[in-house]
Amino acid sequence: MKELELKYGCNPNQKPARVFVEAGELPFEVLNGRPGYINLLDALNGWQLVRELREATNLPAAASFKHVSPAGAAVAEPLDDVLKKIYFAEDVELSEQATAYIRARGADRMSSYGDFAILSDECDEPTANYLKREVSDGIIAPAYTSKALEVLKSKRKGNYLVLKVNPDFEPPAVETKKIFGVTFEQQRNAIKISDDCLTDIPTRNKTFTPEACRDLLTALITLKYTQSNSVCYAKGGQAIGIGAGQQSRVHCTRLAGNKADYWFLRQCPKVLELPFKQGVKRPDRDNAIDVYLGGETFDDSWQNLFSVKPEPLTADDKRAWLKNLHGVSLASDAFFPFGDNIERAHQSGVDFIAQTGGSIRDDNVIETCDKYGIAMAFTHIRLFHH
C-alpha cells in the first residue's frame, strides 16, 4: 500500500489528512483500528529508537511514546520485587519483551497514560496481556503471535490500533518536510550510537562499569528520538527521567531529574505501604502517588482512596531516601554549557555522564564532575531532533 487516509491531522479540524510514499510501499500495515496523524509520528519515531537500542545492546527493547517523544524506553533487564510492585507487574507473566515494555512504561506512568507502545521484537501473549489492562492508544511491532493479536484486537472495544512494521525497511538517505509552504531537506540522522561514543573521557574518574555503558547507550539512543533540548537519566537498563523540549538545558536537567527522583521515591517504604483501598484503579493510584510525592494534602478525598489517611512524606523523608540513589547515568543531546547541570545531576545520584562536549565552559563542567567523582565522556555527537 502506498497511501493511507487518516482520521485527521494533529487536530480534528485538520482534514483531510493522509500519509503516503512516493516510491515503494508504506513500511507498515494496519492490523486493527484506524491510525491518526500523531499515532504514526509516535510509531515511526519509536520504532527507530527500539530498533537501534536492540542493535546496540543485543537485548529486546521497548518504548512508551507520547506526542512524538518517549515517556520511557528500556531493554529487557530482570525486574526485582520492588519494581514489579511499582510497575503493577506482581501478578503478570513476564517474557523478555514484556519486561522491556513494563520498564519503559514504568519510567513515568503519569506520562505514559494513553501512550503508543513500541516493541523491538515480536509481541507475545505476556506483553499483550499487560498492555490490555493499561490505557494505551496503540502498538507497533515487527510481528505478533496469533494469541497476542487476538488479545490486542479485543482492547478498546475492538478499536485498539495495531501496526505491523516491516523490520527490513530502510528509509531514503535524504528526508524532507514542509512547513508554511517551504520544503526542508536534510540528510537523515543515521549516526550509530555505540560504545565507541564513550572513549573520550576528560574527567579524573575514567571508569565506566558495563551497567553504566548499557545505561548511557540507552539514554543516548532515547535522546536521538526525543524533541530537543533534551536530557535523559537512566538506571537498570531503562530511562528513569526524560526532560524534553525545553529551551534551557538546565531546565531539561531539572525536569528529568525531578522525574528520576519521583521514580526512586516510588520505591520508598512509605510509598510502597500506602493503604490503598481494594478496587482503586491503577491510574487513580498513579495520580494519588504523584500527589503524595508532591507534598499535597488529600483533604477529604483520601477517604475514596485509602483505608486510613496516609502519614505525610516530609521533605526530610525525601532527602533521606534520595541519599540512597546512586549509579545513575545521564546523557545530553548537546553540550552542557555550565556546571550547574552537573550540580543538579549529582542531587539525583548521577555517577556517569555522556554529553557532546565543545562548550567554551567545558573546563567548568569537567571541574564540577571531578568535584563529585563523576566519570564523563565527550561523545562529539549532537543529537538534536525536531
Q: Does 33 have pLDDT greater than 90?
A: yes
Does residue 84 share a domain with residue 67? yes
Crossing angle for the helix pair 249-265 and 282-293, nearest 10 degrees? Answer: 110
Does residue 356 share a domain with residue 284? no
Does residue 362 share a domain with residue 253? yes
pLDDT in tens, 130-171: 999 999 999 999 999 999 999 999 999 999 999 999 999 999
pLDDT at 170: 93
| Number of domains comprising the chain | 3
Is 66 among the residues known to form the active site?
yes
Domain ranges, residue 12: 3-165
Is 380 among the residues known to form the active site?
no
Catalytic residue among 157, 178, 323, 386: 386
Domain boundary among 312, 341, 367: 312
Q: Are 245 and 69 in contact (CB under 8 A)?
A: yes
Does residue 211 share a domain with residue 242? yes
pLDDT at 367: 97
Q: Is residue 185 assigned to a domain? A: no
Cell numbers 543515521 correspond to what residue? 190
Does residue 205 share a domain with residue 158? no
Does residue 111 share a domain with residue 41? yes
pLDDT at 139: 98
pLDDT at 346: 97
Instruction: Give me the mean pLDDT over the 82-105 stretch.
Output: 96
Write the Ramachandran bin of 67: left for phi over 0, alpha for psi from -120 to 50, otherwise beta: left
pLDDT in tens, 336-353: 999 999 999 999 999 999
The residues with which 376 forms a beta bridge, in sequence order, are 353
Rounded to an integer, what distance in angstroms lies between the CA atom of residue 153 and that of residue 218? 31
Rounded to an integer, what distance in angstroms lies between the CA atom of residue 371 and that of residue 359? 19
Q: Are 228 and 189 in contact (CB under 8 A)?
A: no
Q: Does 297 have pLDDT greater than 80?
A: no
Catalytic residue among 32, 45, 66, 259: 66
Query: Grid coordinates in use for 326?
Result: 546512586
The enclosing H or E element of 258 equals helix 249-265
Q: Does 250 have pLDDT greater than 90?
A: yes
Does residue 374 share a domain with residue 304? no
pLDDT at 303: 87
Instruction: Give me the mean pLDDT over the 70-95 stretch.
Output: 96
Q: Does 296 have pLDDT greater than 80?
A: no
Instruction: Give me the mean pLDDT over the 283-308 stretch.
Output: 88
pLDDT at 111: 94
Does residue 228 share a domain with residue 155? no
CA distances to 30, 118, 224, 241, 272 from 331, in Å: 35, 21, 11, 11, 29
Share of the chain above pLDDT 70, in %: 100
Q: Is residue 69 assigned to a domain? A: yes
Does residue 129 share a domain with residue 150? yes
Judge residue 342's burial from the number of C-beta atoms within 10 Å of its C-beta, 0-12 exposed, 13-18 middle, 19 or more buried: buried
CATH number at residue 347: 3.40.140.20
What is the band of 299 on the pLDDT scale with cuts at 50, 70, 90? Answer: confident
pLDDT at 281: 94
Q: What is the mean pLDDT of the chain?
A: 95
pLDDT at 342: 97
Q: Is residue 293 assigned to a domain? A: yes
Q: Judging by DSSP bridges, how do beta strands 3-5 and 350-355 pair with one another? A: unpaired
pLDDT in tens, 15-29: 999 999 988 999 999
Does residue 279 share a domain with residue 225? no
Query: Grid coordinates in use for 275?
Result: 493503604
| Residue 363 CB partners (closer than 8 Å, separation 6+) | none
CA distances to 205, 239, 317 from 46, in Å: 34, 14, 37
pLDDT in tens, 167-199: 999 999 999 999 999 999 999 999 999 999 999
Catalytic residue among 164, 229, 235, 318: 229
Domain boundary among 115, 150, 165: 165
Is 326 among the residues known to form the active site?
no
Q: Is residue 179 assigned to a domain? A: no
More confident residue, 298 or 292: 292
Does residue 287 share a domain with residue 228? no
Domain boundary among 147, 165, 183: 165
Q: Is residue 150 assigned to a domain? A: yes
CATH number at residue 300: 1.10.287
Q: Is residue 317 assigned to a domain? A: no
pLDDT at 169: 95
Q: Is residue 182 assigned to a domain? A: no
Is 385 among the residues known to form the active site?
no
Instruction: Give me the mean pLDDT over the 193-222 stretch.
Output: 97
CA distances to 41, 135, 148 from 129, in Å: 25, 12, 8
pLDDT in tens, 106-138: 999 999 999 999 999 999 999 999 999 999 999
Q: Is residue 175 assigned to a domain? A: no
Does residue 95 share a domain with residue 37? yes
Query: Grid coordinates in use for 180?
Result: 508554511
Grouping H, G, I as helix, E, B as strand and the rest as coil, residue 343 is helix
